[in-house]
Amino acid sequence: MGKIKNLKQNHTGLLILLTCLFVFHSLIALIPPLNGDEATFWEWSRHLALGYYAHPPMTAWLISVLTTIFGAFKYTVRLSAILLHLGTTTFVYKLAWEILQTRRNGLLAAFLYGILPLSLVMGTAMTTDAALIFFFTAAVYFCRKAVIDQQSYNWYWVGIACGGMLLTKFMAALFVPGFFLFLAIHKKYRAVFLTKEPYLAGIIAAILFSPFLYWNYKNSWLTFQFNLYMRHREEGYDPEKPFIYLAGQLLAGSPVLFAILLVAIVYFFHRLYSKKYKNLWNSNTRDSLLLLIYFVTFPLVYFGVTSAGVEVAPHWTAMIYPIAAIIIMAWFLQVYEVNRSRSILHSKLFIAGCIVSLGISLAMSVLVVFPKLLPDNMIYTRQVNDDAPVLSHYFGWKEIGEHIDTLRNEWEQRPEGLFFTSKDYSLASMLGFYTPSHPNFYLMNVREDVVHGKSYLLWERGKKKIGANTIYVADTPESYKTRLIGFFKEIQHQEPFIVRDDDGRILRIFYIAIGLSYLGGEPDNLSLW
């Protein structure tokens, strides 16, 4: 009881922040439908494996645990992301407290991270980045303890955290170069290369990663084919891409705070390496900040360089932002020459940064919850066969799911058998999730050059029986032609399934075809080898 009381007394601010974050992210998670990627990761969790075509398996494992315990609902699919976000925020608080010396500094750094637009998305939507951010932050935390504080047993935690990163996403590899550069440049810490613990940590990470490598060995190294070749083979140099990268980071980190991060990196590199400023903080804080700056700077520079040829999405750098919040906080402490973070709250720049970041996050939240605030031409389709606007994805899932189950009850009575198909992985996953009976949807006639969704080709093996019928559901009117024609004896068209609002305007249209008597003959385009 005494320990519990002491925890509440020492960390009341953190507990309040975590509670607020949990409630806020939970409310957001309960309202919008899953997006296509979230539904796909749920599909992964229904087909548990040691690896998948696009990524390692950690995301599927996490979803599977919670949906097995609590059932498959959109909130339980997203709950892992919310809990991981709380864990990441706790690591930010602890790391900032240890480096910047007071709990209040730690709390303000955690608050800064919590209000970033990127945190809103990654702390609510269940993506591969949710676990990557958590394990990256944990690895940095234990790495600092092992190197700067010289607590060698923390290397084993580094190994576990790195293993978790590797089991989540290939971006985990960006953890190593920044750390290596820090050790190589700072003579004081080069002796770490001569100790056994870092290599034992590497062995632990490799052991944790090995089941995924085994799965790839047994499956033509599919994940490596996808990440190292398939997803970028159509890319090329474009002078606009670096500006797209920069714009994405300004949105992810909010314009004011991201600009401060860039200034802070330059500021600290200059001052922490200058003999003139050798009395800037104590050596532990100085070295800890430099370590954090290396972890943040290398991914930023790496993606800045590669953005000339590859369109870098804003979330590709997501793992650095918890650490970036600490660097930003340290910059405010130093520039305003204060020893107590209370004084920072009087800084107009700090307040402006918080207001802009929080304002973007809240505006995004409002639009997610109330999409009809956006212009009608982004929501409504004028007539059948017209191209649907981008926000049509938000609507119609419950209605089409119930309709699919009605068709299923009619067609599954036939002796020839039945399976469900759709045109792409995103739509197939959404239909599988929102149909009450949760049938497995498969893809038809997948081309070799299709980038995403080839995991379906593994799952469907042996499931499409010759002579069976299919219910094909799409959100474009003509896609059945390249998917079904030639693979079924006959195709029957159903009336378009139209979802309208209370005023009769079209929110969503689904196009349904019935393929009679499957002939087989689809090409196996899973692997390039």
Per-residue pLDDT tens digits for 120-147: 999 999 999 999 999 999 999 999 999 9
528 is a domain residue: no
Assigned domain for 181 exists = yes
In terms of domains, do 430 and 349 share one?
Answer: no
Looking at the structure, tell me whether residues 394 and 352 fall in a common domain.
no
Entry pTM: 0.94
Are residues 361 and 480 both part of a single domain? Answer: no
For position 237, what pLDDT does the model report? 83
378 in a structural domain: no
pLDDT tens track for 514-527: 999 999 999 888 88
Question: For residue 101, what are the domain limits?
Answer: 2-32+44-369
Counting the structural domains of the chain, the total is 2
CA distances from 294 to 183, 200, 454 (A): 10, 23, 36
Is 158:135 a contact under the CB 8 Å cutoff? no
What number is the average pLDDT over the span 398-413? 95
- Domain assignment present for 374: no
**In sequence order, what are the residues at sequence separation of 6 or more whose Cβ sits closer than 8 angstroms to the Cβ of residue 156?**
197, 200, 201, 204
Whether 338 has a pLDDT exceeding 80, the answer reads: no
Give the domain-ending residue among 335, 369, 403. 369
Nearest to 518 by CA among 479, 480, 487, 473: 487
- Candidates 98, 50, 451, 474; CA nearest to 284 is 98
pLDDT digits (tens, 9 = 90+) for 253-266: 999 999 999 999 99
- Asked if 358 and 457 sit in the same domain, the reply is no
Quote the pLDDT of residue 361. 94
Q: Are residues 94 and 157 in the same domain?
A: yes
Chain CA centroid to CA 519, Å: 39
Query: Are 279 and 358 part of one and the same domain?
Result: yes
Give domain status of residue 78, yes or no: yes
Shared-domain flag, residues 325 and 287: yes
Give Cα 161 to chain centroid, integer Å: 17
Could you tell me if 349 and 394 lie in one domain? no
Let me know: does 74 contact 33? Beta carbons within 8 Å. Answer: yes
| DSSP-assigned letter for residue 360 | H
Of 334, 369, 404, the residue that ends a domain is 369
Residue 28: inside a domain:
yes
Distance CA 323, CA 12 (A): 22
What rounded mean pLDDT belongs to the chain? 92
Q: Show which of 319, 340, 369 is a domain's final residue.
A: 369
Judgement on whether residues 419 and 318 belong to the same structural domain of the protein: no
Q: Are 161 and 255 members of one domain?
A: yes
In a shared domain, residues 323 and 471: no
125 and 264: one domain?
yes
* Within a domain: 524: no
User: What DSSP designation does 382 have?
Assistant: -
364 is a domain residue = yes
d(CA 161, CA 201): 9
Region of residue 101 (phi > 0: left; psi between -120 and 50: alpha; otherwise: beta) = left
Neighbours of 373 (CB within 10 A): 9
Share of the chain above pLDDT 90, in %: 80
